[in-house]
Structure 1
Amino acid sequence: MTIYENVVIGSFLYLLGLENGRQLKSTGSVSQAVNLLQQTPLDQSLADVLLQTEGSLYILEFKRVGASQTKERKKLENVLLCLKDRADLVDVSRRIHWYIRSKLKNGQLMAYVSPYLDFGSKATEMPIEDLCTKFVADGKGNSVAMDRCLEYVYRMQAALAVDGSSSGTIIIVAKNGSNIRHVVIEDLTDLSKIHSKLVELRSVAVVDVPTVQDDPTSADLTDERTSAHRRKLGS
């Protein structure tokens, strides 16, 4: 049976949302920018998925086990070339840039995870849901300074950029167990601005959304309509 990368990525993002919801119950707040870039111009200069929180940044490339890797090998060559004189950024790459292969094994979708620079060798095997748990847990702070993460991404983009394409992005922030809102950022590639906004949103309380019960006037009006309806039924 074949499961294409876009199906795997869709399941991964759904599971990621569920895991974030579970974390929300215990931490009280979640803020994250999740960007699906597969089959867009930014796929060529970044990756299939870009995850960013106020404390972490992850670049994720997905591939089916057994699928052609020709394009990825060429991309890897360019990444290695841009790191040729920056051994310090090699360690950064190994912490934030991941190559994730997938296949069915005994009826379960398994992920084989390795640093992108290792290109699938020495991969760690885990169910796809455990992969989501890992990124949400590590997303609280992946022990790599954000300025180093940004330096790596910008250097990689400069080496891989094809036509200078970009896109806006959306930050999702949830607090107090239920309040959810979004903030639009004009340029997805302005990762420094996104990071600043994520830090800001994490520290600012989200205003509760009023409900009908919070408005005495609405509640009284509802009671009047209910009473009138009952009188009509009884007549």
Structure 2
Amino acid sequence: MKLYENVVIGNFLYGLGVSIGGRLKSGYLPGAVSLLQQTPEDKALGDVLLDFPGTLRLIEFKAQANRSKKELTRYRKLLPTIQEQQEMLSISRRVHWYVETAPFPLKGVEAFFSPYLDAFDTQKPAKKPFALERFIESVADDVISSRNDERDTQEKDYLKLVRWCQGTGETGSGALIVVVDSGGGMEFVALEDLMALNMSHQKWMTYRQERELKMERALELELEKKELRMERGWNYGR
């Protein structure tokens, strides 16, 4: 039985949405969930980029049977660039993950997790088995508990560094922010640049309020124009 990476990723993202929705008891939560696999950003960054206020995750998924050397090459470019930067090493091990999966009759899928920097280091302990649902719950807990935190600007710098190591320039890839509320409502906001995903929760709330005011004002202006046209038509009829 083959278990393709995109099947695992799809179920991971679905499970993450369910977990976050179940934990969001009040207020709003803006976030961007970007599936980058087989896009120009796949080569630059990885398979999945999760960006929420206070929480960033860059995740590479690989089927255990996949013998491609692509990730080893990427790792060999990244490690020498940051191995002398202790803060970047710490950020990398917090936000950048490597997940290897294989079909498993009893549990559906067996997953092995490791910080990306340790996944190909033969001197580090082997990747540890960890239930995929536990990983999903861990990410969801971080998203909810950190949603009022300011984003560490160095996390954005780390993403830029990962891109630079791969020799990838601007790809023109945009992103979608989805703002959800505890009642299940949602709205989407488009961003022209994927790398602009760094607003804090408070900034997003301010942005959302300003956007609502602009929409209300635009509606008022439209109603005023409609009333003016009707008034002119009535006067003309007289």
Fold equivalence (TM over 0.5): yes
Aligned to 1:114: 114
Pairing 1:43-192 to 2, within 5 Å after superposition: 43-108=42-107, 109-119=109-119, 121-139=125-143, 140-141=145-146, 146-190=152-196
Instruction: Provide the rounded CA distance (Å) in 1 between the counterparts of 2:77 and 2:146.
Output: 28
- With the length of structure 2 as denominator, give the TM-score of the two structures: 0.77
Query: In the superposition, relative to structure 1, how do residues 195 and 145 fare at CA in structure 2: closer, same or farther (>3 Å)?
Result: closer
| Percent of pairs with identical residues | 31
Per the alignment, residue 195 of structure 1 pairs with 198
After TM superposition, give the deviation of residue 21 of structure 1 in Å. 1.4
| Letter aligned with residue 153 of structure 2 | D
The one-letter code matched in structure 1 to 2:98 is Y
The number of aligned residues is: 203
> 2: distance between equivalents of 1:161 and 1:197?
29
For the Cα contact (< 8 Å) 1:54–1:195, is it kept in 2? yes
How far off is 1:123 after superposition? 2.6
Residues 29 and 160 (structure 1 numbering): CA distance in 2 closer, same or farther, change over 3 Å?
same
**CA apart distance, 1:148:** 1.7
Paired amino acid for 1:77: R
Q: Given residue 34 of structure 2, which amino acid in structure 1 is its aligned partner?
A: N
| 8 Å contact kept, 2:150–2:200 | no
Task: Note the residue ranges of structure 1 that are not aligned, 5 or more in a row.
Answer: 208-235
Helix, strand or coil for the counterpart of 1:13?
Answer: helix
Question: Is 1:22 the equivalent of 2:22?
Answer: yes
SS at match of 2:194: coil
Closer, same or farther: CA 33–65 of 1 in aligned 2, 3 Å: same
- Contact 2:53 2:150 survives alignment (8 Å): no
Structure 1 residues 198 and 68: alpha-carbon distance in aligned structure 2, compared to 1, 3 A threshold: farther
| Alpha-carbon contact 1:58-1:97 (below 8 Å) kept | yes
Change in 2 beyond 3 A, CA 1:145/1:164: closer
Moved more, 28-37 or 57-66: 28-37
CA contact (8 A) 1:42 1:166 kept: no
Contact kept in structure 2, 1:98 and 1:116, CA below 8 Å:
yes
Report the residue type matching 1:63 in the other structure. Answer: K
Runs (5+) with no aligned partner, structure 2: 213-238
